Structure 1
Amino acid sequence: MSKINVTKIFTTILYILYITVLYSATKLYQEANTYINIKNHKQLAYIISPQQSINDVLNNLQTQNIINKNFWLYLLLQINPDFKSIQANIYYLKPNMKIINMLALFHRKQILQQYAMVLIEGETLTHFLKRFNHDPYLKHTFNATNLILLRKKLNIKDNYPLEGRFSAATYFYTKNTTDLNLLKIMFSKMNNEVQTIWTKRQKNLPYHNFYEMIIAASIIEKETANIKEKYIISSILMNRLKKHMKLQMDSTILYGTNNKTNMKLLPMLLKKQNKYNTYIIYGLPPSAISTPSKNSLLAAAHPIKSDFLYFVADKKGKHIFNKNFHAHKLTIKKIYKTT
């Protein structure tokens, strides 16, 4: 091979490398300086929790369509590894913010004092909002316990009740974060979670809409904390609904009395008219009865296949399940030693 050909090949390789590097640098610059997609918001409160990595955050932002999926962002992290170090906090994203500025914001060394707001699994919305309304570190802009006003502030267009529609989790925020911003995050988190589970739900479940799945999940949440049992109790709910049997769930009666009823008085209420008394009404109650956990939502969407119709607590923290009423009565007799 002549020296001229070697020189040509070498020059061509250098040229290709130059073009590749130039293209990559240009593309990287363009992607880093792309505006985030929150045109419908004046600003968007975004929470990064302590356990999240930068990859978790980017995946979440892509899921919410705040940024587009692309390879270049991950290349940017390799070139500038400082961006991998993020601070758990609540951040306010604005429409004129570029991706590079957002990453810099997440990385900033200044850590503001953070406070925690916890919505407990199984807690009712009324109970939570009373606590929420008196939190000393939030900036209160309206009376959040007014559910009509809360619905209006959150711009909720459907007519489903608000019970069960805020995600049970720990939310970190900084002082003077507005009550509305935090509630928007809680509502949005639950809405995204529910829609994902609803889309992937088992076929032929007796739900007419996603909120009925939330109602079922809220009952499951109150009936057991055991994850395995959640799927069995879900199957009992489905079996009863399909057979047009009354659900007969004690937890719904308690909710109908604002959870102020002593369990010892429960037998007296079984025949008392109450729109949440599933010993009288058929079908699901008119609203959720608690804040369901993700495990309960998954159980409501994916019940196991069973013939169970009855269950009773065994006094050891679990339940015994039966397929017919006769076996159920014998189980109760054995547990409580009644005649």
Structure 2
Amino acid sequence: MRAANPTRAALGAALLGAVVLLAGCAPTGDEATTEVEGVVVSSNPNLATDPEIPTTVDIEYGAVDGQPLLLDACSPLDFDALTDPARAAIVVVHGGSWARGSKNDIAWRAVCQWLARSGYPTFAVNYRLAPANPYPAAIDDVSAAVEWLREPEQVARFGIDPDRIGAFGGSAGANLVSLLGTRGTGALDEGARVAAVVELSGPIDLTGVAVTDDFVPVQLAYLGCVTADDCPAASAASADTWVDETDPPFFVAHSTDEMIPLEQARIFVRALRDAGVDTTFVTVEGRLHSIAMIDDGLKQRILDFYARTLAPTELPVAPATDEPPADAAP
């Protein structure tokens, strides 16, 4: 087991105080169910929208300074939230260098609907973007979305099990879901804690290690810093800073020669495994970044991971009946 992290303790005390927009699917009013004519394929042919999946868009999960925070809900087919057993939920967080991107992007809509078709009520989250809203705005928003899902009203509305909320993110979204998984401590069924994390191509350590020259200004803009030498937010925004033995299982996937150096994933996996955290590490040959990596094989590995880590701790019990079993003796 990893020794206590002094940086984490110090920061904890300090902190207390596809890029194409989906066309033709604008919501009406505060909330509307999307209907897509046919299938819309993203730049990754393995990610396409699924018109059969009920998708309710632009649900307000909070507000900051009068600005609404919105998410989309993708529902499994033939799922009745009022009568079916509660299901594990997944929160999806889009990428875009913390400065652009949206839950509405075709590929991210496709991810939401793919996970819903696989049986998980799935929620694609928008968050405030940098540089207008530097760290910690984005992680505060994503955390607020998880807390909102745990409210009794949302649990009943969507038929989810608040003890089994997973997270999925790519690129900047991978950084954010990794923070979701590591920034808290203790039980995984409270507050903004999540029970399982899938992160693809995440920039995990923002302190200046394993970073390309062209990505340095992207990190600094997100962190609200001018130089890397004077950037106290860098450590706080790095998921490996917070790792401890209570963190949830992680699935880490990274390409071998992509824009975020593979060493970022290796640093994170080492920290997780040193702390005794259940960690699956997948490397993909080539340059594909984030959800561009997804193919049928990676999809199945991700679903296998969620099936194992988000499984109910207790199996449903059949309702009692006075009728004898069919093979009982008369």
TM-score range, shorter chain: under 0.3
Larger proportion of strand: 2
Taking structure 2 as the reference length, the TM-score comes to 0.22
Taking structure 1 as the reference length, the TM-score comes to 0.22
Structure having the higher Rg: 1
Larger proportion of helix: 1
